[in-house]
Amino acid sequence: MIEVKNVTKIYKVGDSEVHALDGVSLKIRDGEMVAIMGPSGSGKSTLMAILGCLDTPTSGDYLIDAKDTSKMNEDQLAHLRAHKVGFVFQQFNLLPRTSALENVMLPLTYDGTKVKERVERAKKALELVGLAERMNHHPNQLSGGQQQRVAIARALVNEPTILLADEPTGNLDSKNGDEIMAIFQQLHREEHQTVVYVTHDMFIARHTERIIFLMDGKIVRDEKVKNPIQAGTQRPDETLSNGNHNGNHETEEVLQ
């Protein structure tokens, strides 16, 4: 379980301060699948970075499995990133000129896993995302969707407590985006993997059971989705797929 308590994040831009997060509190239970939505500048990526221990809050507490991260030093945070959190980026962030298998093995490099076991676990993670046959390909020999699946395999290889994804489908077409959603839902259903992702696409967001709306660094709504969309469902034409910033009437139907 992860818990965020009254977290703020303030960036200094020149002389002025930008409050990217302004007193955010939330809890995500183990096995939950959650989407975070909001317009650009709402602080959703900042929140993701803090959840992934890639950044630290200006004030407030962030607890993973009841352990407070705000009191941890750099090495302890590195340990958390290695074992508790798997992070998927919008830009994939794979090492270039390095095979898919080696990319997936990367997190295991730093936690003392034996080489043989690393290869096995990386292969298993690649199988999970359906890329076992392309493990020796380099990123530039893979499509965008395949690259993102490699990135997901990399995030999963350490069996993290929580899988975080920042706009995982943002750089992909709808077909590839759908494949990513299928993987997330399968992980959620079969492995009880906690999955949290950011999106600004309502259709993508509704693949989860819960949507958190952010606006100006504050949580403005936290809603359950009544009937999550199953991956593979045709995207309805009328569904707002982009820039769904004023999705009020759209979410009415999912409110409990």
Partner 1 sequence: MNVINNVRVALRALRANMLRSSLTVLGIVIGVAAVVALLSIGRGATSNITEQVESMGTNLITISQGRSFRPGMGGLSRSASLLYKDYEAILEKVEGINGISPYYSSQTQVSTTSRTTSYNVIGSLPSYLEVNNLEIEVGRFITDTDNLERSRVVVIGQDVSDDLFEGLNPLGRSIKINNVSFEVIGVLASKGTSGMGSADSSVIIPIRTGYTRVFGSMAVYNGNYTLSGITISAESQDVIDTVMNKVDLVLRSQHKLGLNDDLGFTISSQEQMLSSLSDISNTMSAYLGAIAGISLLVGGIGIMNITLVSVTERTREIGLRKAVGAPQKAILFQFLVETMTLSVLGGVLGVILGSLIATIFTYLDLITAKVTFDVILLSFTSSALIGLFFGIYPAYQASKLKPIEALRYE
Which residues form the interface with partner 1 (CB under 8 A)?
49, 52-56, 74-75, 78-83, 87, 89, 93, 95-98, 102, 106-107, 109-112, 154, 158
Structure tokens at 160: 């993290």
Secondary structure letter of residue 148 according to DSSP: H
Q: Taking the CA of residue 160 as centre, how many other CA atoms within 13 Å lie in the half-sphere pointing to its CB? A: 31
Structure tokens at 165: 């994804």
Query: What is the distance between the alpha carbons of residues 115 and 109, in angstroms, rounded to a whole number?
Result: 8
Nearer to partner 1 (CB atom), residue 85 or residue 254? 85
Task: Give the shortest CB-178-to-partner 1 separation in angstroms.
Answer: 26
Task: Give the shortest CB-93-to-partner 1 separation in angstroms.
Answer: 5
Relative to beta strand 162-166, strand 85-88 is parallel
Nearer to partner 1 (CB atom), residue 87 or residue 203? 87
Nearer to partner 1 (CB atom), residue 1 or residue 106? 106
Nearer to partner 1 (CB atom), residue 101 or residue 219? 101
Query: What is the distance between the alpha carbons of residues 209 and 229, in angstroms, rounded to a whole number?
Result: 9
Nearer to partner 1 (CB atom), residue 109 or residue 230? 109
Task: Give the shortest CB-135-to-partner 1 separation in angstroms.
Answer: 16
How far is residue 30 CA from its own chain's centroid? 15
Spell out the long-range contacts of 241-249 with Cβ–Cβ below 8 A and sequence spacing 24 or more.
241/174, 241/201, 241/202, 241/203, 242/200, 242/201, 243/39, 243/200, 244/37, 244/200, 244/201, 244/202, 245/38, 245/39, 245/200, 247/37, 247/202
Nearer to partner 1 (CB atom), residue 73 or residue 234? 73
Task: Give the shortest CB-204-to-partner 1 separation in angstroms.
Answer: 22
175: exposed, middle or buried (Cβ count in 10 Å: 0-12, 13-18, 19+)? exposed
Task: Give the shortest CB-114-to-partner 1 separation in angstroms.
Answer: 10
Task: Give the shortest CB-172-to-partner 1 separation in angstroms.
Answer: 19
